[in-house]
Amino acid sequence: MANGGGAPAPTASTLRRSVTTATATATSAGLAFAAIDYLGVVSVLAYAPGATAALAILIGGLMVVLVAGIFAELNGLYPTAAGIRLYLGRAVGNRTAMSVTFTYMATVVLVIAADAFLIGAAIRHVLHEPAVLAYLWIAVLLGIALAANLRGIRMAGWVQTFVTYTVLTGTAVLSVVAIFHHGRAFHQPFDIFGKGAFSGIQAIAFALFLYAAFEWVTTTAEEARTPRVITRALFIAPFLIWLVSTLFALALAHLVPFPVLHHSAYPQLLMGKAALGTIGELWMLALTVLTALNTFNGGFLVASRFIYAAARENTLPRQFAKLNLNAVPWLAVCVLAGVSAVVAALVFATGQWLLLVAVGAAIESAIYAIGSVCLLVLRRRDTRERPFRLIAARPLATFGAVLFTIMFLATGLSDPKNPSHLSVVPLGVIVVLGAVSIGYVLLCVPRLQAAAAARAATSRPKRRPQRTAESGGGGPTSTGPVRTPPSPPSGPMAGT
């Protein structure tokens, strides 16, 4: 047994189907590069105007290299879909892990809702329909995603890879075309703190958001041919995102005046139109719709399976673990679609789409800070060999914990609609989400687990027969009772 608290060493079998580096990289980049990233670039431009946005994106990318190193080591230690939950649990205890994971999963809902809104708004814009019809498109998109998920329809790995590389290449190519158009010159590209020191930090913090969710590729660790596949993807995907985001930011800064961008939910369409007219606009619309495939496929899958697993371990009501005849947790998928529709409606009604960017950016920064703390703790507690070891892990992880906490505050206190002001609204949203998660974990989870234990005790006696020396054959371990003690009523919370 390994010294990691009972984790058996995985075997080195070759699976019939396994994820390659190209697929894992596409998964990582595809999860990160959603339609909301186009707005993320606008948020960077709000704090770092013109070409200075490119420098902010580069600095953000360098920070992400540190994040990649941290998650590569943690993933090597716990190569499982339950990764973040597991290493958080091992490092800071299960209750904290559960609270953080519930809050983290809320970002998936935010991204699904944001993408539904943004894609709906983009389609409405291109079709020259009244603004109110945007919500109809949102409902249609979420309805299609819901139906596909309930029927158990999944994108094949190669389709996901093709979609991701098409979106990245298409955005990059049109951005290059735009940059070579006659437009505004790039002045003082290195003056990132030109609008003030804190603005520069906020620009970098929003740049960090462009890479957000790239680390979710660790949830495919069990499918990877070798652990190195995920490590490679964690380092290659940010490079691709950096390249595409930089080109897109430069293209926007070059061709579209910022006041126009700032009030638009579809900056990519404006850039496309400015570069190639209607063809460019349709080009970017097609790419925007394609991003939905990744978001809705990956987002629904990750979040609904998380809800299913939580219900199965009795930390959510067990109704969420009910499966339909396609082996899909139908209630989890329906609730996910319903909540996304409500959030998208709120965004539609208030026009606060940049608030979603700020909240998402802040939560991701917090996760990176927590990941850094996990690495620090697990370097001490779990001394097993890892397939990847971060060089100078202790100083770098300490640096990461401080740095990403600053980034969390920089985005949590931002007001992208009015960059010259600070706002506590994003932080307030996160505090509310966090408080709800903590309250739920402290108050509701123990009751659910007690109820589950009582249900199991009364309705389901142990089935495994007792073995004795007489009946157990010659096995050296078959003497005496072999039954393991029943699971503690508090399940995985018991160790906290």
Partner 1 sequence: MADWDELAEALADYTVSCNENERLRKMQRDWTRVLHFECSDSGVRFTMDVERGEILATPVGHVGTPDIVVTTHSETFCDMFWGDLNPVQKYLRGEITVQGSQEDVMRLDAISAVIWPDA
Which of 342, 439, 462, 466 is the binder for partner 1 (CB under 8 A)? 462
CA dist 232 and 75 (Å) reads 12
| Closest CB to partner 1 among residues 141, 493 | 493
Site string for partner 1, 60-99 (x = CB under 8 A): ------------------xxxxx--xx--xx---------
- Sign of the dihedral through C-alpha 435, 216, 149, 130: positive
| Residues 225 to 284 in contact with partner 1, rule: CB under 8 A | none
Which of 96, 478, 489, 496 is the binder for partner 1 (CB under 8 A)? 478
Q: Is 5 left (phi over 0), alpha (psi -120 to 50) or beta?
A: left
All residues at 6 or more sequence positions from 492 whose CB lies less than 8 Å from its CB, including other chains: 89, 94, 313, 315
Which of 37, 73, 115, 223 is the binder for partner 1 (CB under 8 A)? 223
Burial of 38 (0-12, 13-18, 19+ CB in 10 A): buried
| Closest CB to partner 1 among residues 1, 392 | 1
Q: What minimum distance in Å lies between the beta carbon of 410 and partner 1? A: 33
Q: What minimum distance in Å lies between the beta carbon of 264 and partner 1? A: 37
| Residues 300 to 339 in contact with partner 1, rule: CB under 8 A | 301, 305, 308-309, 312-314, 318, 321, 323, 325-327
CA dist 465 and 452 (Å) reads 23
∠ CA 483-487-489, rounded to 5°: 145
| Closest CB to partner 1 among residues 37, 382 | 382
Burial of 380 (0-12, 13-18, 19+ CB in 10 A): exposed
Residue with tokens 């800071």: 92
Is residue 73 within 8 Å of residue 374, measured between CB atoms? no
Q: Is 20 in the site for partner 1 (CB under 8 A)?
A: no
Q: Is 469 in the site for partner 1 (CB under 8 A)?
A: no
Q: Is 455 in the site for partner 1 (CB under 8 A)?
A: yes
Q: What minimum distance in Å lies between the beta carbon of 190 and partner 1? A: 44
| Residues 144 to 183 in contact with partner 1, rule: CB under 8 A | 154
Q: What minimum distance in Å lies between the beta carbon of 64 and partner 1? A: 24
Q: What minimum distance in Å lies between the beta carbon of 322 and partner 1? A: 9
Burial of 438 (0-12, 13-18, 19+ CB in 10 A): middle
CA dist 81 and 83 (Å) reads 5
Work out the number of other CB atoms within 10 angstroms of the CB of residue 399: 14
Q: What minimum distance in Å lies between the beta carbon of 436 and partner 1? A: 21
| Closest CB to partner 1 among residues 228, 318 | 318
Q: Is 196 in the site for partner 1 (CB under 8 A)?
A: no
Q: Is 213 in the site for partner 1 (CB under 8 A)?
A: no
Residue with tokens 């080195």: 12
Is residue 177 within 8 Å of residue 275, measured between CB atoms? yes
Stretch touching partner 1 by CB under 8 A, among 27-35, 389-397, 407-415, 484-492: 484-492
Q: Is 480 in the site for partner 1 (CB under 8 A)?
A: no
Which of 183, 317, 472, 489 is the binder for partner 1 (CB under 8 A)? 472
Q: Is 11 in the site for partner 1 (CB under 8 A)?
A: yes
Q: Is 377 in the site for partner 1 (CB under 8 A)?
A: no
Q: How distant, in Å, are the alpha carbons of 8, 468, 479 from that of 476? A: 21, 11, 7
Name beta bridge partners: 414.
Answer: 422
CA dist 348 and 475 (Å) reads 67
Q: Is 15 in the site for partner 1 (CB under 8 A)?
A: yes
Number of residues that bind partner 1 (CB under 8 A): 63
| Closest CB to partner 1 among residues 286, 482 | 482
What is the amino acid identity at position 188? Q
| Closest CB to partner 1 among residues 81, 243 | 81
Is residue 395 within 8 Å of residue 70, measured between CB atoms? no
What is the amino acid identity at position 496? T
Q: What minimum distance in Å lies between the beta carbon of 492 and partner 1? A: 6
Positions in the binding site for partner 1 (CB under 8 A)? 1, 4-11, 13-17, 78-82, 85-86, 89-90, 154, 219-220, 222-223, 301, 305, 308-309, 312-314, 318, 321, 323, 325-327, 455-456, 459-460, 462-465, 467, 472-473, 475-478, 482-484, 486-487, 491-492
